[in-house]
Structure 1
Amino acid sequence: MAATLRNVWFRRNCVVFENRLECPNRLMLSVKTIVKDQAVQTLGNSDRQEQVRGADTLSWEKPDCRYVKINWDASLDQKRKKMGVGIIIRDETGKVLATMCDQKGYVEKAVIAECQALRTTVELCSDLQLQKVEFEGDAKEVILSVSSEEELLTSYGYLVDDVRFHFKKNAHWSIHFTHREKNMVAQTLAKKALFIEGKKVWLEDFPKFIVGCLNRDFNFFT
């Protein structure tokens, strides 16, 4: 309506000041073009806003009060049949309580690597006697298997059973799936673990190569 009235006014000015009368069909075509251009611009702005919101939400989130959050991930080198494990433990303020890099051999499948990484994570948590814990990772298939009570008749079923055993003993442990963008620190640790000999544990400390990822996470939730 606004575009139509605007073009009618312009058409009237052409008659009054230029003694030129434009065809009504041309007026309506011009209106359609204006409306189409505005719709495209609005859609583009909406998409950009969604991208910004998406970037904001796809970042690490702090755990509940008095809980710690453990992010873990696995990396797999299929040629060498070797996997890396990356683990980071942070409290409700984002402070790093512990980080760990580890590697294991004779692993060929990604799902088994993820299961191995999760079992290593719960064992570390048990060793540290952490009671209120939120486990967070991007291995959706493994997390669903652990959360289920059904018997798992797969090659990695025994690993899932081991993890379930630890969860049954700890009433205040929970496990959740998260997007890879929220798991970047653990992912970086896991990739680096492939090139670090043996197990490396940093208590109340962290290696320098994850500083960039930590700063990104901290800037998002503060």
Structure 2
Amino acid sequence: MWIHRNKLLFRELNDWKNIKTVQTTTSVDVQTEMNVIKWKKPSPGRIKYNIDAAFPSNNNRIGLGICIRDETGAFIRAKTEWVEPKCEVHVGEALGFLSALRWVHELNLGPVDFELDSKLVVDSF
């Protein structure tokens, strides 16, 4: 009886080690495939507007976010807004850029740089 119990116990322990090894290997592989994008400061004397759009799956609108930082990376201001109806990603990113342009005019901060993650929108300007 003890021999059977120990075989069962140690077999399950080995199964646990195998599972743990697979989980560790999988998480490392995922991390190495991710591209890490680091925020870059604007040139001296400039302000940077970072713009992004979010597309929640649970409603028919998109979220826009804008963050303003100075040449040292210090936070100046940020805002969010909702736009309806939901649209294609490049359209949402362009709407975020339009919102940032309006905010630049309103705040009269300058000179400015813009950063957004839609290559299609960036290449259009």
TM bucket normalised to smaller: 0.5 to 0.7
1:91 matched to which residue of 2? 70
Long gaps (5+) in structure 1: 1-50, 148-222
2:42 matched to which residue of 1? 63
2:81 matched to which residue of 1? 102
TM-score, reference length from structure 2? 0.67
Structure with the larger strand share: 2
Percent identity between the two aligned chains: 28
Query: Is the partner of 1:135 in helix, strand or coil?
Result: strand
Query: Is the partner of 1:99 in helix, strand or coil?
Result: strand
Give a deviation string over 1:120-147, Cα, whole Å, max 9, x none: 11111110012210101111101111x1
Deviation, 1:60, is: 0.7
8 A Cα contact 1:67 1:133, kept in partner? yes
Query: Is the partner of 1:94 in helix, strand or coil?
Result: coil
TM-score, reference length from structure 1? 0.39
Give the Cα–Cα distance (whole angstroms) in 2 for the partners of residues 108 and 70 of structure 1.
22
8 A Cα contact 2:47 2:111, kept in partner? yes
In structure 2, the CA distance between the partners of 1:92 and 1:63, relative to structure 1 (3 Å rule), is same
Give the Cα–Cα distance (whole angstroms) in 2 for the partners of residues 108 and 78 of structure 1.
12
1:139 aligns with 2:118: yes
Larger radius of gyration: 1
Structure with the larger helix share: 1
Count of residues in Structure 1 that have an aligned counterpart in Structure 2: 92
| Superposition RMSD in Å | 1.7
Query: Is the partner of 1:131 in helix, strand or coil?
Result: coil
